[in-house]
Amino acid sequence: MRENMTNRYGFINLVFWLFLIISTITRTVLLIKSIDAIELSFTEIAKIYLIGAFYDFVSAGYLVIPFVIYLLFMPQKFFEHTAHRMVTYIFMYILLFGAVFLAFSEWFFWDEFSVRFNFIAVDYLLYTKEVIGNIRESYPMGTLLSVIAAVAGVIFYIIFKLRYIENILNTKSSIKQRLKPAFAYLLIPALSFASISDDFSKISKNQYSNELAKSGLYSLFAAFRNNTLDYDTFYITHKQDDVFSNLRNMIDDGSGKFLNTNDITREIAKVGEEKDYNVMMIVVESLSGKFLETLGGENGLTPNLDSLAKESLFFSNFYATGTRTVRGMEAITLSVPPTPGRAIVKRPDNHNMYSSGFIFKNKGYETKFIYGGYGYFDNMNEFFSNNGFDVVDRAKFNDEEDTFHTVWGVCDEDLLNKTLKEADLSYRAHKPFMSFVMTTSNHRPYDYPDGRIDIPSHTGRDGAVKYTDYAIGEFIKKAKEKPWFKNTIFVIVADHCATSAGKTEIPLDKYHIPMIVYAPEILEPQVVEKVSSQIDIMPTLFGMLNWSYKSKFYGSDILNPLFKERALIGTYQKLGLYKENKLIVLSPTKKTKSYEVVAQDIFDTKYKEIQAEKSLEEDVVSYYQGASVLHERRLDRYDD
What mean pLDDT comes out for the span 340-361? Answer: 92
pLDDT at 503 over 60: no
pLDDT of residue 34: 87
% of the chain exceeding 90 in pLDDT? 61
Structural domains of the chain sorted by starting position, each given as residue range(s) with its CATH number in brackets: 2-226 (no CATH), 277-561 (3.40.720.10)
- The model's confidence at residue 5, banded by pLDDT at 50, 70 and 90, is very low
More confident residue, 605 or 569: 569
**How is residue 35 annotated by DSSP?**
G
Hey, is 529 helix, strand or coil? coil
What mean pLDDT comes out for the span 484-491? Answer: 98
- The model's confidence at residue 166, banded by pLDDT at 50, 70 and 90, is confident
pLDDT of residue 568: 97
What mean pLDDT comes out for the span 86-98? Answer: 92
- The model's confidence at residue 504, banded by pLDDT at 50, 70 and 90, is low
- Which residues have C-beta within 8 Å of that of residue 275, sequence separation ≥ 6? 544, 545, 546, 547
- The model's confidence at residue 534, banded by pLDDT at 50, 70 and 90, is very high
pLDDT at 600 over 90: no
What mean pLDDT comes out for the span 213-238? Answer: 81
User: What's the mean per-residue pLDDT of the chain?
Assistant: 90
Longest alpha-carbon distance in the chain: 88
d(CA 640, CA 359): 9
Phi (first) and psi of residue 607, to 5 degrees: -125, 165
Residue among 618, 588, 603 nearest 507 (CA): 603
pLDDT tens-digit series, residues 293-329: 999 998 899 999 999 999 999 999 999 999 889 999 9
d(CA 633, CA 497): 32
d(CA 438, CA 332): 12
* Weakest-pLDDT range from 2-11, 108-117, 480-489: 2-11
- How many CB atoms are closer than 10 A to CB 263? 18
d(CA 123, CA 573): 9
pLDDT tens-digit series, residues 124-135: 665 455 456 557
- The model's confidence at residue 572, banded by pLDDT at 50, 70 and 90, is confident
Hey, is 263 helix, strand or coil? coil
Opening angle at CA 581, ends 579 and 584, nearest 5: 55
pLDDT of residue 215: 87
- Which residues have C-beta within 8 Å of that of residue 554, sequence separation ≥ 6? 251, 264, 335, 336, 337, 535, 568, 623, 627
Residue among 626, 518, 522, 517 nearest 575 (CA): 626
- Which residues have C-beta within 8 Å of that of residue 155, sequence separation ≥ 6? 18, 96, 100
* Weakest-pLDDT range from 220-229, 344-353, 549-558: 220-229
Query: Of the segments 34-48, 268-282, 596-610, which one has the largest average pLDDT value?
Result: 268-282
- How many CB atoms are closer than 10 A to CB 454? 8
pLDDT at 581 over 90: yes
* DSSP letters for 346-372: GSSS-TTBS-HHHHHHHTT-EEEEEES
pLDDT of residue 428: 98
% of the chain exceeding 70 in pLDDT? 93
The b-or-e profile of 167-202 (16+ CB within 10 A means b, else e) is ebbebebeeeebeebbeebbebbeebeeeeebeebe
pLDDT of residue 3: 42
pLDDT of residue 124: 63
* Weakest-pLDDT range from 61-65, 115-119, 172-176, 460-464: 115-119
pLDDT tens-digit series, residues 442-476: 988 899 999 999 999 989 899 999 999 999 999 99
pLDDT tens-digit series, residues 354-370: 999 999 999 999 999 99
pLDDT tens-digit series, residues 614-623: 999 999 999 9
3-state SS of 447-497?
Answer: CCCCCCCCCCCCCCHHHHHHHHHHHHHHHHHHHCCCCCHHHEEEEEEECCC
- The model's confidence at residue 203, banded by pLDDT at 50, 70 and 90, is confident
- 278 contacts 491 by C-beta, under 8 angstroms: no
pLDDT of residue 442: 92
pLDDT of residue 228: 66
Residue 568 bridge partners (DSSP): 577
Hey, is 139 helix, strand or coil? coil
The type of residue at 39 is: E
pLDDT at 561 over 90: yes
pLDDT of residue 138: 62
Phi (first) and psi of residue 489, to 5 degrees: -100, 120
